[in-house]
Structure 1
C-alpha cells in the first residue's frame, strides 16, 4: 500500500515513451514488411509475373527478394524481443528497406512505380517510431539512394524509365512523407504520454484512497446480497474480532451485525444502539448504505467506535471549556490580586487580635489556592509546543532535585535523586519535563506520606532493561492509590482532595504526550506510588560522548 503506482511496459523511444501502442505499431510495421517482401518474391519468381515482367538482373533480383523475405520474417517473429531496443531495430530495418527497394527497382526490366511508392510507407513509419533527426536522415538517404540507383542503372540501360525528374519527385515525396508522419507521430506520442500520465494519476489516487480507507479509525466493510464480506479495512477487521482471512460469511463472523443488516434490508430502519461485535473489542454503532442508488446488491457498512466518538466529544468539550475558563481566569486574577494585597497590608497592622490574624491567614491561604486554580486553567488553554532536545537524564535529575530543595522548605520531608553510573540520554523539552516533574513531586510530598510520618520521595533516572527507553520516576512511600481511583487520576477535573482542581495530572500527561513521552501510574510493592515518565530513546549517539 505504501508504493506508488508506476506505468508498466514503458520503453523509451526517442524523446517519448511508448507501451502497448508502440508494440502494436511495430507489429503492424513488421507485418507490412513481410507483405512487401512477398511482393518482391512474387515479382522475382512467380510464373505469372515472369510472363509480363522481365528481370534485368535475375540473380540479383531473386537473391535480394529471398534475403529481404528472410529478414522480414525474422523481424516479424521477434517483435516482442526487440521492444527494448526499438530505435536501433527500426533504424536498421528502414535502412534495409531502402536498400532492398533500390535493388528491386534496379533488377526489374520494366520498373513499376509501385515499389517506390511502397517505400514511402516504410519511411513514414520510421518517422513515427524514430527520433526526428534519425528519421529525417533515413528519408534523405532514401531519396539519395533512389537517385543514385537510377543513375547507375541508366548507365547500363539508357532506356531505364526512372529518370532524374522521377527520382527528384520520389525523393521529395519521401521527405514530405517524413515531415507529415513525424508531426503525426509527435501528436500520437503526446496523446499517449498524456493518457499514461492520467492512468498513473488514477492508479496513484486509487492507492491513496485505499490507504486512507485502510487507516481510517472507522470500520468499513462491503457486503454483497449473499451476506459475504468482499472488502474490509483494518479497523473493521479489529472491531469484528480479527477473524481469519478465509472467513467471509458475515453471519459466521459477526452474527449481531448480520442480524442488523438483515433488519435494515427488510425494513429500511437502522438499530441505533451500540453493540460489541466480539469479546474484548469496543462497542460500535453500525451504519448501512448502498454503494450507489442503482446498486441493489452490495452494501457499505460503517462501524463507528463509540470510544473514539466519546473521546472526540471530550476533546471538543475541553477545548471549548479551556477557552472559556481562560477568559474567566483573566477576570478573576485582578480582584484576587487586590484581595491578596489587602490581606498582606492588614497582616502588618499592630492592632490585630489573634482571631483577626487567623482570619487574615485564611484569606491568604485561599487566595493562594485560587491563584493555583487560575494558573492551571491558563496552562490548559495556552500549552506551548514542545522543543525537544537531547538531555542527560542523570544530570537533569540531580539538578532538578537541588533546585526543588532550594525553592521549597521541605522541613522533615526527604527528597533525593537516584541516578545510574551509565549514560542515559533522552529526547525531551527540558522545561516541560521540569513542569511535569515539579507537579509530581509536589503531589508526592503532599499526599504520598503515611499518617504522622514525613514524606520520603525519590526522583529516579534509569533505563527500562538493558536496551529499553530512558525513564524518570517519582516514587513515594505513602499509602498508594486504590485501583479504582488510579484508573481515573489522569482524567480532567478528577480529584479526591477537597482543595484539588483535578487538572495537575491531566496537564502533566498532556505535556508528556506533546514530547512523545508517556506518563503512567505504577503501584509500588510494599506500599507507595510510582509515576513513571517514559522518554523517547536516543536515535543516534552524540559525537564525543561515551
Structure 2
C-alpha cells in the first residue's frame, strides 16, 4: 500500500489552516477594537493601558504575518508556531485586562480545537496542556499578588481546563479521521488516474481497431489499429461517410435493423479484411463504438476451436471407425485369396480395399493431429535415412510409372530429429508429390535431395516436376483443412508442419524457377544443439 502523501499536500487541511489564521486575525482585530476604540470605554480600563495597546498591536501584526505566510509554509511548523503565540498573548492579555479574562479564555478554546484538528493527537494535547498552564499561570499571579480583580473563581479555572483538554481530544480524533479520509481519497484518485492511463494505453495498443462515432457520423476517437485501417482519413474529427462509405453503410444498417453483417470488409486495398462490430457507448446515447476485428485473426481463432473440437472427437473416432475399417479390410483380403471369385468381382474387392485404406489414412491424419506426441530428437544421418526411406517406400507402395530418386552427398549429414516423426513428414510430402506433382499424362518424378545450407544446417528437399503451386495457394499451404482437391482433408501438410516445429525444424515451400515444387525441411544440426 503506498504511503499517504505529506500533510501539507491535502487541500482540505490547507483550507482549514486558512480559516484558522483568519480566525486569529479576527481575534487580534477584536482585541485592538477593545483597546483602541471608544468601545473600550464601556468596559473597565485595563490594569496597564500602555501594555495592553502594545500587546494588541503586536498580536495583530503577528496575526497578519501568519495569515500572509500561511499560504506557502508547511502546516505543522506554522500551526505549532501560531498556537504557541496564541497561548502566550492570551495569557498576557488576561493579566493586563482582567475584566476580559473570561472572554479571552473562551476565544482561546477555539484556537486549541483548531490546532488539535490540524496536528497529530499528541501535539494537540500538548497545546491544550499549554493553554491550561496559561490559565493556571494567570490565576496564580492573581493569587500571589493578592489582586482580587485578577483572581478568577477556581471552578471557572477547572471548567476551562477540562474544556481545553476535551476539545483537544475530540478534534484530534476528528482530525485523524479527516487526514486518513483525505489520504485514502487521494490514493484512490491516483489509482483511478493510473487505471485510466492503463486503459487508454491498452485500448490504443489493441490489435482490434476501436472507433468512437458520434450521432452526426463524425469520428471522435480512434486507436492505433483503427488508424492503420483508415490511414490518413482517421486523423482528427472526420466524417465516417467520407472516410469509409462501406463502414458507414454497415453502421446505418445496424442502427436501423439491429443486425450486423458478418461479411469481411476491406477498408483499404493494402490492409487485411476486418469484421466490424457495433455497440452503443451508452444505452440511450447516440455515440457508437465500432470494433474492427482482423478477419484473419478471427479465422485462426475459428480454426483453433475447430482443431480443439476435432481433438476431442478423435478419441471416439478411433474406436468407431478404425475397428470397422480394419474388419472390412481384413475380410476383403480374405476374399481376394479365394479361387472361386470371378475376375470382375476381384476388381470390385480391390476398389473396396483401396477405399478402406484411404479412409484409414484420413483417420490416421486426424489422430496424428490430436495426439501431438512429443518429439524425441536423436542423431540421424540424413544420407542413410533417405536411402532407406526410398527403398522401403518403393517396396511397400510402388508408384505407378513414377520414379523416386535420392540425391545424396558424399559425406554423412547429421541432423537432430525424431526419426519416426521425420518418416511421417517425408511420407506426407512424397505422397503429395505423387498425387499433385505431375504434369497431365506424364508420370511423377520425385527427388529427395540431402545437402547443407550456407550456415551448415542440414536440409532435406522433396521436389517434383509438376506444374508448381500458385503464389496465392502457396501462402495457405500449411493451414489446417486447406486443400485444392475434392478428395483431400487439408491436414497432411499441416500435421507435417507441426511435427517439424516440434523437432525445432522448419518446413517451407520453395518455388522452382524451371517448374515444379520443392518442400524443404531445415533441421537442427549437432552444433546447433550443443550451443543451445
Deviation, 1:94, is: 2.0
Residue of 221, 233, 236 corresponding to 2:223: 233
After superposition, the Cα gap between the structure-2 partners of 1:63 and 1:525, relative to the gap in structure 1 and judged at 3 Å, is farther
* Equivalent residue number for residue 33 of structure 1: 24
Residue of 471, 474, 493 corresponding to 1:483: 471
* Equivalent residue number for residue 270 of structure 2: 280
Distance 2:407 2:143 in 1: 120
Distance 2:157 2:522 in 1: 92
Which residues in structure 2 correspond to 1:297-312 (within 5 Å)? 298-312=287-301
Which residues in structure 2 correspond to 1:92-131 (within 5 Å)? 92-131=81-120
* Equivalent residue number for residue 172 of structure 1: 162
Matched, 1:405 2:382: no
Secondary structure, counterpart of 1:221 in structure 2: strand
Residue of 240, 252, 258 corresponding to 1:250: 240
Residue of 194, 211, 219 corresponding to 1:221: 211
* Equivalent residue number for residue 457 of structure 1: 450
Distance 2:531 2:59 in 1: 77
Deviation, 1:481, is: 4.5
Please tell me whether the aligned partners of residues 270 and 288 of structure 1 are also in contact (alpha carbons under 8 angstroms): no
After superposition, the Cα gap between the structure-2 partners of 1:456 and 1:510, relative to the gap in structure 1 and judged at 3 Å, is closer
Please tell me whether the aligned partners of residues 440 and 474 of structure 1 are also in contact (alpha carbons under 8 angstroms): no
Distance 1:224 1:74 in 2: 55
Deviation, 1:135, is: 1.5
* Equivalent residue number for residue 141 of structure 2: 152
Distance 1:129 1:211 in 2: 40
Residue of 481, 485, 494 corresponding to 1:493: 481
Please tell me whether the aligned partners of residues 447 and 463 of structure 2 are also in contact (alpha carbons under 8 angstroms): no
In the alignment, structure 2 segments of 5+ residues that lack a partner are 392-404, 439-443, 525-529
After superposition, the Cα gap between the structure-2 partners of 1:171 and 1:485, relative to the gap in structure 1 and judged at 3 Å, is same
After superposition, the Cα gap between the structure-2 partners of 1:302 and 1:343, relative to the gap in structure 1 and judged at 3 Å, is closer
Distance 1:506 1:223 in 2: 42
* Equivalent residue number for residue 424 of structure 1: none
Distance 2:222 2:251 in 1: 16
Deviation, 1:341, is: 8.8
Scaled by the length of structure 2, the TM-score of the pair is 0.72
More helix by share: 2
Deviation, 1:474, is: 5.0
Secondary structure, counterpart of 1:112 in structure 2: helix
Secondary structure, counterpart of 1:457 in structure 2: strand
Secondary structure, counterpart of 2:139 in structure 1: helix
Q: 1:382-438 CA distances to partner (integer Å, 9 max, x unpaired)?
A: 447x99xxx9xxxx7x82546983995455635678799xxxxxxxxx99x888766
After superposition, the Cα gap between the structure-2 partners of 1:408 and 1:327, relative to the gap in structure 1 and judged at 3 Å, is farther
Secondary structure, counterpart of 2:212 in structure 1: strand
Deviation, 1:490, is: 1.0
Structure showing greater radius of gyration is 2
Q: 1:77-121 CA distances to partner (integer Å, 9 max, x unpaired)?
A: 333423xx4333323322222222212222324233121112111
After superposition, the Cα gap between the structure-2 partners of 1:293 and 1:495, relative to the gap in structure 1 and judged at 3 Å, is closer
Please tell me whether the aligned partners of residues 318 and 363 of structure 2 are also in contact (alpha carbons under 8 angstroms): yes
Which range moves more in the overlay, 361-370 or 87-96?
A: 361-370
Please tell me whether the aligned partners of residues 473 and 530 of structure 1 are also in contact (alpha carbons under 8 angstroms): no
Please tell me whether the aligned partners of residues 127 and 185 of structure 1 are also in contact (alpha carbons under 8 angstroms): yes
Deviation, 1:511, is: 6.7
Please tell me whether the aligned partners of residues 450 and 460 of structure 2 are also in contact (alpha carbons under 8 angstroms): yes
After superposition, the Cα gap between the structure-2 partners of 1:532 and 1:410, relative to the gap in structure 1 and judged at 3 Å, is closer
After superposition, the Cα gap between the structure-2 partners of 1:373 and 1:283, relative to the gap in structure 1 and judged at 3 Å, is closer
After superposition, the Cα gap between the structure-2 partners of 1:476 and 1:489, relative to the gap in structure 1 and judged at 3 Å, is same
* Equivalent residue number for residue 6 of structure 2: 12
Q: 1:433-460 CA distances to partner (integer Å, 9 max, x unpaired)?
A: 8887665555556667996575113466
Count matched residues: 497
Which residues in structure 2 correspond to 1:375-390 (within 5 Å)? 375-383=364-372
Distance 2:257 2:51 in 1: 85
Distance 1:131 1:419 in 2: 78
Distance 1:218 1:43 in 2: 76
Distance 1:495 1:409 in 2: 26
Which range moves more in the overlay, 512-521 or 19-28?
A: 512-521
Deviation, 1:176, is: 0.7
Scaled by the length of structure 1, the TM-score of the pair is 0.71
Residue of 153, 166, 176 corresponding to 1:186: 176
Secondary structure, counterpart of 2:6 in structure 1: strand
Please tell me whether the aligned partners of residues 123 and 177 of structure 1 are also in contact (alpha carbons under 8 angstroms): yes
